[in-house]
Amino acid sequence: MTAATAPLPRVVVLDYGSGNLRSAQRAVARAGAEVTVTDDLDAAAAADGLVVPGVGAFAACMAGIEALRAGPVIAERVAAGRPVLGICVGMQVLFEYGEEHGVVTKGLGLLPGGVTGLAAERVPHMGWNTVAPPPGSRLFAGLPADARFYFVHSYAPTDVAGLAAAGALPTTAEHGGRFVAAVERGPLSAAQFHPEKSAEAGRVLLHNWLATL
């Protein structure tokens, strides 16, 4: 007698007008989930996991989230212990603020600190880079120390100590200085790099995230 196959976790990729929606959908599906791209907030609230993507400017992404009125849904999921994964600018908007070209934009405030320009001669930081996850990381479980992930960004949070003091597990990377490459705190996970563009290392990371659902 064959054992029944467990249903795949249901994941929503939030469509608020920004992000590599279809590539994120395909990557999460390959990692082992049933994935829907939608702007339906009820679906976003009910899903086993919610992915918040984002590319471009912090202010534009926050404007899209606010226009959809998605901020409270994201915050309520986190407060209820329901998993959320932010990707690229979708990670940045989880912080208290972002500063771009001297303009400060309020973020969702689910993680402490802000997002500022990289202190590097070469910006944007574009290409493959290694990361340094902390002990106890679930996102990076099973990945070798030389695993590389694909980054495209000019801004990032840098307050590693502040995140750790708030009970988060920050993963760091180097580009003209140390910055936060990923964060884990309870049901909230986030990556500054693009797992969907990071080949096998990205697939493993997404699979690890799905295992928390």
**Selected catalytic residue, list 34, 61, 194, 200:** 194
**Selected catalytic residue, list 88, 125, 153, 184:** 88
- Alpha-carbon separation of residue 157 from 81, 90, 180 (angstroms): 23, 13, 6
Average pLDDT on 162-182 reads 97
Buried b / exposed e over 160-198, threshold 16 CB at 10 Å, is bebbeeeebbbbbbebeeebbbbbbbebbbbbbbbbbbb
Identify the pLDDT of residue 4: 58
H/E stretch holding 160 reads helix 160-165
Which two tokens mark 179? 């910055």
- Alpha-carbon separation of residue 62 from 28, 89, 93, 95, 185 (angstroms): 23, 9, 7, 11, 21
**Selected catalytic residue, list 61, 175, 184, 196:** 196
Per-residue pLDDT tens for 55-104? 999 999 999 999 999 999 999 999 999 999 999 999 999 999 999 999 99
Percent of the chain with pLDDT over 90: 95
Nearest by Cα to 187 from 112, 55, 85, 42:
85
What is the CATH superfamily name and number for domain 2-210?
Class I glutamine amidotransferase (GATase) domain (3.40.50.880)
Percent of the chain with pLDDT over 70: 98
pLDDT at residue 12 tops 60: yes
Question: Is 194 a known active-site residue?
Answer: yes
Q: What average pLDDT does the structure give for the chain?
A: 96
H/E stretch holding 201 reads helix 199-210
Average pLDDT on 46-53 reads 98
Per-residue pLDDT tens for 175-199? 999 999 999 999 999 999 999 999 9
Our measurement of the distance from residue 146's CA atom to the centroid of its chain's CA atoms, rounded to an integer in Å, reads 21
Question: Is 196 a known active-site residue?
Answer: yes
H/E stretch holding 171 reads strand 169-174
Residue 36 sits at φ, ψ, to 5 deg, of -125, 135
Grade residue 1 by pLDDT with cuts at 50, 70 and 90.
very low
Which two tokens mark 20? 């590599």
Query: Residue 153 carries which side chain, given as an amino acid letter?
Result: H
